[in-house]
Amino acid sequence: MNKKIIAVIALVLVLTVGLVACNGKTYKASGVADGNKYASSPVENNGSFVVKQGNYIYFVNAYVGADAENKFGKQEKSCLYRAELDDNGNIIEGSRVALVNKNIYSTSTKSGIYVRGNWIYFASPNTDKTKSGEVNTKYLDFFRVSLDGKKTELLYTIANRSADFFVTDNSILVLDGGALKKIDLNKKSLGKINNKKNYVEVRSNVSSLQPIVANGAFSGMALMVSNAADSDSWKKFNTLSVISADGTIKDVITDNSFGGDADSYLYNATVSVKDYVVKGDKITVYYTKTDKDSKVQLCAYMFGTDFAFDSKNEVLLMKDASSSNVAAVKGIDEKSAFVTVSSAPYLKYVEQGKEPQNVPASATESDSQLKRQITIRDVRNGYVFYTDASSAKALYRYNYASTDLTTEELVAEFNLSSSWFAPVILGDYMYFLDGTKEYTYRVKLQTGDIVKPETKDMVVGKMTADDYKAVFESEKK
């Protein structure tokens, strides 16, 4: 065989490898036992960093950052893991197994993992080297792994590691640089999914994408806010939309939503979603509403599954919801909520038809007055659970339903990480990243007598031998 023929064959091989790389990759592994055991069970908390299906929980094991080792099969710490719960919600000893040894991470704090059909979808930093031999720092890969862990597919790569994303029944929707873009998963082959033409803009001027982490009727949906086109900016409105599980988009609050006459733009407003609460087949969305004169109010609206909006049914919770009065909102029901403030008094209770109430109600109750800024994590059974807003070292609760003088109670001590995702609620537990070695932990949201948990009992992630030794043997010293 002469040199020219060899050169041609070599070139064909290079082009073939290049095409395979462009058209997606499939990775095979030995997998895990009983992968489809609960495949027909409803999925809870989809889009979070801890997702439950049947008695399995799927979770991000730990955080290692974007630049860690990420070759398939090499990553041991920040992988996608599965564990099984017993009927009491306890993690069964020895049930923690890695589903895929890839670094599960993007800088988005809103977008987690999604269980759809027989697949689990996730994002992972692309650490391939550039032409100059350096590890790239801007690309993000979207993958899916089968429930049994035997097959992992690279679906698409984008040039944005900080993009929020949302997985529907048939697509991945990505908020990329102010545009909502779609990766169609209904293509006939992996190569067609990965084709660069399969990344199509479906909505421009998008300012936020908020997956709805819930169960039941609203599972798999998302809330989206988009700004008006430049030509309509004088009308002072934006658009709140809902994205259904099948990927369809419905505009809910938009131009003319607050008035019906010819000059209805005078009643327009821009909205900003602050929180939502799902109860059965109803979802209450809490949002600030800024009118044409820059007046800001806090409102709530209880939607049904059709997301029909009638401004007459809007609930006003707070007349002055400017940034100095509202740092964050935690909804209770369709007529009440808590708001946290960046200066004293740090916690307020707001309700339709009433003035905001400091918590506790009397400023003379100095022993029970909150003395620092907090972040509310959950509200249940008359208790509000919270951590310090920064450098959090514990979970506290406050009995807001009690008529007696109440002080905050310490529920558990830990070191809350601020490296990546915020704590998430699943069932009776708050799952979070612990700041010691950045593993996933959980703490029970106790509404009865408090039993302070031991640190070992809070660990969810599977720790490496070195990390376990560093954490627990150092504690003994």
Average pLDDT of span 81-105? 96
pLDDT exceeds cutoff 80 at 14: no
Look-up of token digits 């009440």: 336
The verdict on whether omega for the bond into residue 125 sits within 30 degrees of 0, i.e. cis, is no
| Cβ atoms of 34 and 54 closer than 8 Å | no
Q: How many CA atoms lie within 13 A of 283 on its CB side?
A: 23
Model confidence at 477, pLDDT cuts 50, 70, 90, reads low
> Which two structure tokens, joined as six digits, stand for 177?
């640089």
Q: Report the distance separating Cα 442 and Cα 432, nearest Å.
A: 6
- Looking at residue 366, what is its pLDDT? 52
| Cβ atoms of 108 and 127 closer than 8 Å | no
- Looking at residue 6, what is its pLDDT? 46
- Looking at residue 263, what is its pLDDT? 66
pLDDT exceeds cutoff 60 at 362: no
- Looking at residue 293, what is its pLDDT? 92
- Looking at residue 261, what is its pLDDT? 67
pLDDT exceeds cutoff 60 at 19: no
Phi first, then psi: give them for residue 199, nearest 5 degrees. -130, 90
- Looking at residue 232, what is its pLDDT? 92
Average pLDDT of span 435-443? 96
Q: Report the distance separating Cα 188 and Cα 131, nearest Å.
A: 32
Report the alpha-carbon angle 160-27-50, nearest 5. Answer: 60
Lowest mean pLDDT among 70-74, 134-138, 247-251: 134-138
pLDDT exceeds cutoff 80 at 3: no
Report the alpha-carbon angle 409-415-416, nearest 5. Answer: 90
List the domain boundaries for the chain: 22-156, 375-477
pLDDT exceeds cutoff 50 at 17: no
Model confidence at 360, pLDDT cuts 50, 70, 90, reads low
Q: How many CA atoms lie within 13 A of 334 on its CB side?
A: 12
- Looking at residue 428, what is its pLDDT? 97
Lowest mean pLDDT among 44-48, 405-409, 432-436, 452-456: 405-409
| Cβ atoms of 76 and 57 closer than 8 Å | no
Lowest mean pLDDT among 14-18, 162-166, 333-337: 14-18
> Which is it for strands 26-28 and 151-158: parallel, antiparallel or unpaired?
antiparallel
Listed in sequence order, the residues at least 6 apart from 374 whose beta carbon sits closer than 8 Å to its beta carbon are: 340, 346, 347, 386, 387, 388, 389, 396
Average pLDDT of span 118-132? 91
N- to C-terminal Cα distance for the chain? 71
Question: How large a percentage of the chain has pLDDT more than 90?
Answer: 75
**What are 249-262's pLDDT values in tens digits?**
999 999 999 986 65
* Residue 276 neighbours by CB distance under 10 Å: 20
| pTM for this entry | 0.91
Q: How many CA atoms lie within 13 A of 245 on its CB side?
A: 18
Model confidence at 69, pLDDT cuts 50, 70, 90, reads confident
* Residue 205 neighbours by CB distance under 10 Å: 16
> Which is it for strands 179-184 and 199-203: parallel, antiparallel or unpaired?
antiparallel
- Looking at residue 407, what is its pLDDT? 78
List the beta bridge partners of residue 417.
Answer: none
Q: Report the distance separating Cα 37 and Cα 30, nearest Å.
A: 17
Assign 85 to helix, strand or coil: strand
**What are 30-57's pLDDT values in tens digits?**
999 999 999 999 999 999 999 999 999 9
Phi first, then psi: give them for residue 332, nearest 5 degrees. -110, -60
Average pLDDT of span 300-308? 97
User: Rounded to whole angstroms, what are the CA distances from 110 to 228, 330, 358, 415?
Assistant: 24, 16, 30, 21
Average pLDDT of span 130-137? 83
**What are 409-432's pLDDT values in tens digits?**
999 999 999 999 899 999 999 999
Average pLDDT of span 98-113? 92
**Residue 41, amino acid:** S
- Looking at residue 18, what is its pLDDT? 35
Model confidence at 473, pLDDT cuts 50, 70, 90, reads confident
Sign for the CA dihedral angle at 372, 378, 379, 381 comes to negative
Lowest mean pLDDT among 10-24, 188-202, 292-306, 370-384: 10-24
User: If you write DSSP's letter for every residue of 330-384 in order, what string do you get?
Assistant: EEEETTEEEEE-SSSS-EEEEETTS--EESSS-TT-TTTS--S-EEEEEEETTEE
Query: In which element (H, E) is residue 3 found?
Result: helix 3-22
pLDDT exceeds cutoff 70 at 361: no
Model confidence at 20, pLDDT cuts 50, 70, 90, reads very low
